[in-house]
Each structure stands twice: as C-alpha cells, then as structure tokens.
Amino acid sequence: MRNLIRSIACCVVLFAICRCTAQDVSASAGASFQNASYGIGFTIGEPVIATHAQAGAVLTQGFHQPDDDFTTVVAEVMNPNAQVIAYPNPARDEVTVQVRGIDGPIVIELFDAAGRTVKERYAFSRSTTLNATSLASGSYHARITTDGTYLTTVQLSITR
C-alpha cells in the first residue's frame, strides 16, 4: 500500500513539473506603463521555451504561438452597385480613379507596401486624378470608401 501511495505521489509531482512551461522572452525592446485605471506592458521579442548554453554560446529555442487561441474577424461592408476602375496601371505620373454607381463624396487612401498611408484624397466627382510624381516605384494599394462604407481596394503599380 505504501509503494502505491509513493508511486501515485511521484506521478502527480512529475506530471505537475511536465505541465509547467517557462514564460521567458528574448526581447530587443519593451516597456510598461501604469496609472490608477489601467496598466499596459509590451515586449518586442520572441517567447523562449528552452535555453541551452555551452562554451560561451547561448541557444534559445522559441515559438510565436500564444498559449490561447485568438480569432480576428473583420467584416467589410461592400456596395454591390459600386464599380471602381483605376488606370493606367502600371502608372508613371498620375492615376485616374473612376467610381460608378455611388452618390456622394468618396475617400481614396493610398498605402505603400509597408502599410503606411502615403496619400489621402477626398473626391466629389466620379472621376479623380491622383498625382503620383512624388511616389517611388513600387506596389501600392488604394482603398476606396464612401460615407464610411468600404467599396474596394485596388492594387496599383508605379514605375519610373
């Protein structure tokens, strides 16, 4: 009976040790801020699950998956009557954007490959010309909205 209790205790201890995971981070930057209402902390780095050191070399093994499952849902509302045409594509100095089937002003936001907004234009006519002379060669995305309603995103190429 005593051996059975020892065996069960050892199994419980070993199971508890195996279930513990280290929550270390190999970070390059980060900070934390706190006031009376809330606190926020962030780290720019990689979660570390194992560290091996030998003869002056350190190897960290990690992964980018969080412990919890996260789901992000983005609902885009589109107007089925809208028609958007952008030309010429690829363009050099200017791009013409035509919108049909929509009444009211439109907003054209131009994003570079890194997702930065490089140009924003409010247009009240159905045909608008964007000046592209200040843009570097590359791929851009033009997001077109009206009254807060997403219409479409058009991929544009600028060549020099």
Q: pLDDT tens, 22-63?
A: 556 656 566 777 777 667 766 666 666 566 677 777 666 555
Look at the chain and report how many structural domains it folds into: 2
The CATH number of whichever domain residue 145 belongs to comes to 2.60.40.10
Q: Are residues 66 and 91 in the same domain?
A: no
Average pLDDT over residues 132-153: 89
Does 13 reside within a domain? no
Q: How confident is the model at residue 64 (pLDDT cuts 50, 70, 90)?
A: very low
Q: Are residues 67 and 24 in the same domain?
A: yes
Q: What would the two tokens of residue 81 be?
A: 């009557």
Q: Provide the domain limits for residue 116.
A: 83-158
Which of 43-47, 98-102, 115-119 shows the lowest mean pLDDT across its residues? 43-47
Does 98 reside within a domain? yes
State the Cα torsion 141-142-147-148 to the nearest 10°.
10
Which of 61-70, 94-103, 119-128 shows the lowest mean pLDDT across its residues? 61-70
**Nearest CA to 130 among 101, 106, 114, 102?**
106
Residue of 28 and 101 predicted with greater confidence: 101
Is the pLDDT confidence value at 133 over 90? yes
What percentage of the chain carries pLDDT values higher than 70?
64
Q: What would the two tokens of residue 103 be?
A: 């009444």
Q: Are residues 61 and 90 in the same domain?
A: no
Q: How confident is the model at residue 77 (pLDDT cuts 50, 70, 90)?
A: low
